[in-house]
Amino acid sequence: MARYSDEIIDDVRQSNDIVDVISQYVRLKRSGRNYFGLCPFHNEKSPSFSVSPEKQIFHCFGCGVGGNVFTFLTKIEGINFVEAVQLLAERANIQLPTLENNVDSAKEALKTKVYKVNEFTAKYYHENLYRPESKIAQEYIKKRKLSNETLKSFQIGFSGKFDELYKELKKQGFEDREILESGLVNKNERGQYIDRYRNRLMFPICDVRGRVIAFGGRVLDDSKPKYINSPENVVYSKGRHLYGLNVAKKYDIKKRLLIVEGYMDVVSLHQRDIHNVVASLGTALTQQQGYLLRNNTEQIILSYDSDEAGQTAKVRAMEILQNMGCDIRVLQMEGAKDPDEYVIKYGNARFQNLVDKAISVIEFKVKILRQSLNLDSTNDKIKFLNEIAKLIAKIDNSMEREVYIEKIAKEYDVSKEAIYAEVNKLTYKENVDEKILNKAKPVIKHLEKTNEDTVSEAVKRRENTILAILLSGDVNIYQIIKQNIKIEDFKYDIDHKIARKLYEEFENGNSNISSIIDNLSEEEQNHITMIMAEDYGIDDVEKAIDDIIQTYEKDKLNERKLEILELLENPTEENQKKELEKELNDIIIRLAKMR
């Protein structure tokens, strides 16, 4: 069957959050980090159908079905994979190329060329930064105290005059159409080709794969506009990317990620060893950017500028991220207009302290509400209590509600009993109005596992743990596992099949777990999402791997010990007997040391 390219499939996947898609078919309710509902694929009274926004998978603990957003649509709509891609592309307003000519289509060929134009340009601008004629840029870099390492990490460069880049691109053999499509060069009415960026500090913008997709250019004098950004084109859509994410992902961003407004905020914080920071490319946060944030971290710190535009962007970002179920905090910053200015003025430690003390969305909204009202006025106080109750009523966790009510009542000197009463009134009304959606349930075919009964639960658990670790997509972890655990070591048939495919994909340079899942069989998808949905309680990955490797080594030694004992029971030559006894003794000693 004809198939779209992996790049297109990834684009469609990233533009369709699995919680949003499944919510159109199943009523989901958040519980912890996941969402739960009644499974649409079998009859059940208690919800066992789990959807993970972080991993972008679903799994039913009742009937065992699982997969990603494409899998869900194929099952619920009774369509094939290509039709699911087309349906989701239409939902996200993504124009798909003609499938028959996809690989060799003119658009795909043009995209490949534009990527190469961008790659060359980033390198050219970066090298240009170090030339004698780039003194103005060098002085600015010196003033901002940016190190050579930081400049290289972000490929920061300097653009030349008039048509310098255009001439260099032509020397490299690029055609005018490719150059113009990149947005790096404009053609004027007289037919002249002029560089878009002239005498500007250049910030290449990369996607999560590290490919250069666009540029931002900053003036170094009083010229206007201060920043010029690439127009959207065949490889770039500003609402789908985050500046600096490709650099931040090289560090530990799983627990917390800061989102700021500007390029220099990201670069300046990175320079001062604050690496978990990205920017929203000078635009209000979009749904797609929200998905990127949620898929890469547990907690998001909003750190927009303190001006009116920054506050507006902050409120917009809150709405988007809250609807996605993200854990959001708001940075409270005084004495500077943006993080860049703050960290330069007060230093790393003080900024980190601000990050640690970032307040919740509820606290931020209450604070803003309080600033607009006079609590000495009876009417304003009633309005304050009513608005607080509306905010708190939206919180599902009852203990979290209680904490906020106690804290707000104490901090703003209002009656907690009054808040409780209004919240209870609102939540009761919501529960009465709630209606459960019933839907016809298609039947899922259960596939047999060939050697399920012959493999112990301990071995299955161990193998599933290894696969769960591999499914993090960490190439370095894979190298450690591969060196110590062979494919043949997986005893459970389904684990063996999945391990083989994972090993093959990693060896081919593909660590994109989402795309790997697309190519698994129904049985394998069900099994792999079961693994991904389970919590293996791994706090230290390296220690977990070491423990598993040692367990495998023990098993192999014990197997060999039994083989030797069996051989010794049979008549053997004296020399061979001594060798076997020596090997047995060595094994016993090694096993004793492992205990």
pLDDT tens digits, 379-432:
888 888 888 888 888 877 788 888 888 888 888 888 888 888 888 888 766 555
pLDDT at site 375: 78
CA atoms of 288 and 281, how far apart (whole Å): 13
Q: Is residue 276 over pLDDT 90?
A: yes
CA atoms of 348 and 398, how far apart (whole Å): 37
The answer to whether the beta carbons of residues 200 and 159 sit under 8 Å apart is yes
pLDDT at site 434: 45
- What 3-state class would DSSP assign to 33? coil
Q: How far is CA 245 from CA 2, 164, 474, 589, in A?
A: 33, 30, 16, 50
SS3 content of the chain, % helix, strand, coil (to 5): 55, 10, 35
Lowest mean pLDDT among 64-73, 142-151, 559-568: 559-568
State the chain's maximal CA–CA distance in angstroms.
Answer: 103
CA atoms of 358 and 364, how far apart (whole Å): 9
pLDDT at site 449: 41
pLDDT at site 183: 94
pLDDT at site 2: 60
Mean pLDDT of 420-449: 54
Residue 80 vs residue 246, higher pLDDT: 246
Q: What percent of the chain has pLDDT over 70?
A: 92
pLDDT at site 181: 95
**Average pLDDT taken over every residue of the chain:** 85
Contacts of 210 (CB under 8 A, 6+ apart): 246
The answer to whether the beta carbons of residues 469 and 544 sit under 8 Å apart is yes
Assigned token pair, 413: 């000197």
Assigned token pair, 586: 């060595």
DSSP state of 243: B
The answer to whether the beta carbons of residues 83 and 173 sit under 8 Å apart is no
User: How would residue 447 be classed by pLDDT, with cut points 50, 70 and 90?
Assistant: very low
Termini Cα distance of the chain: 53
Mean pLDDT of 329-334: 89
Assigned token pair, 309: 């535009």
Q: Is residue 321 over pLDDT 50?
A: yes
Contacts of 177 (CB under 8 A, 6+ apart): 110
Pairing of β 212-219 and β 227-229? antiparallel
Q: Is residue 448 over pLDDT 50?
A: no
CB atoms within 10 A of CB 374: 11
Residue 127 vs residue 377, higher pLDDT: 127
CA atoms of 86 and 92, how far apart (whole Å): 10
Q: Is residue 438 over pLDDT 60?
A: no
- Give bridge partners of residue 301 from the DSSP assignment: 258, 329
pLDDT at site 425: 84
Question: For 204-218, what is the HEC assignment?
Answer: EEECCCCCEEEEEEE
pLDDT at site 306: 67
- What 3-state class would DSSP assign to 25? coil
Q: How far is CA 551 from CA 459, 485, 547, in A?
A: 10, 11, 6
- Give bridge partners of residue 243 from the DSSP assignment: 279
pLDDT at site 71: 92
CA atoms of 69 and 22, how far apart (whole Å): 8
Q: Is residue 442 over pLDDT 60?
A: no
Lowest mean pLDDT among 310-319, 428-437, 489-498, 523-532: 428-437
Contacts of 211 (CB under 8 A, 6+ apart): 115, 118, 119, 235
Mean pLDDT of 477-503: 89
- What 3-state class would DSSP assign to 99? helix
Residue 595 vs residue 274, higher pLDDT: 274
Mean pLDDT of 352-361: 91
Starting at the edge strand found earlier in the chain, the sheet holding 359-360 runs 277-279, 256-260, 299-302, 327-330, 359-360
Q: Where are the alpha helices (DSSP H) in 394-439?
A: 398-412, 416-433
CA atoms of 215 and 123, how far apart (whole Å): 12
